[in-house]
Amino acid sequence: GAVVSQHPSWVICKSGTSVKIECRSLDFQATTMFWYRQFPKQSLMLMATSNEGSKATYEQGVEKDKFLINHASLTLSTLTVTSAHPEDSSFYICSALDRGDSPLHFGNGTRLTVT
């Protein structure tokens, strides 16, 4: 079945540094990928929709200059958390759309801890 690989699975960084998270569709082409954020014991909140070859669409309240999204190919989208701060510590999950009528496929998530 379709697989979405997310890397790294966890990362610890110092405040002020930037962190890049990769989301790859391994056996299908994903024209659209989605980035979610999940705080402990809370649900997933959509951050942005990433479309291959175009600018990402950000949800209200999400800073596009802080969370840089690049979808340069049909199999890879990246989320870069710039100048990370402790409040950015969270679980980030990506998902990818295979076809318009198919379920989303989710990555295993990235646990970001900013110290």
Sole binder of another protein in the list 43, 54, 65, 87 (CB under 8 A): 43
Alpha carbon 87 to chain centroid, angstroms: 17
Sole binder of another protein in the list 11, 20, 28, 44 (CB under 8 A): 44
Measured from the CB of residue 59, what is the shortest distance to another protein in angstroms? 9
Asked if 34 touches another protein (CB under 8 A), the answer is yes
Asked if residues 93 and 29 have their Cβ atoms less than 8 Å apart, the reply is no
Asked if 108 touches another protein (CB under 8 A), the answer is yes
Question: Residue 7's beta-bridge partner residues?
Answer: 22
Sole binder of another protein in the list 11, 20, 28, 46 (CB under 8 A): 46
Three-class DSSP labels, 26-76: CCCCCCEEEEEEECCCCCEEEEEEEECCCCCEECCCCCCCCEEEEEEECCE
Rounded to 5°, angle at Cα 23 from 114 and 39: 40
Asked if 113 touches another protein (CB under 8 A), the answer is no
Given the complex with another protein, which of 11 and 82 has the nearer CB atom? 11
Task: Kindly list the residues in this chain that would bind another protein in the complex (CB under 8 A).
Answer: 4, 6, 32, 34, 36, 41-46, 49, 91, 93, 95, 97, 100, 103-109, 111
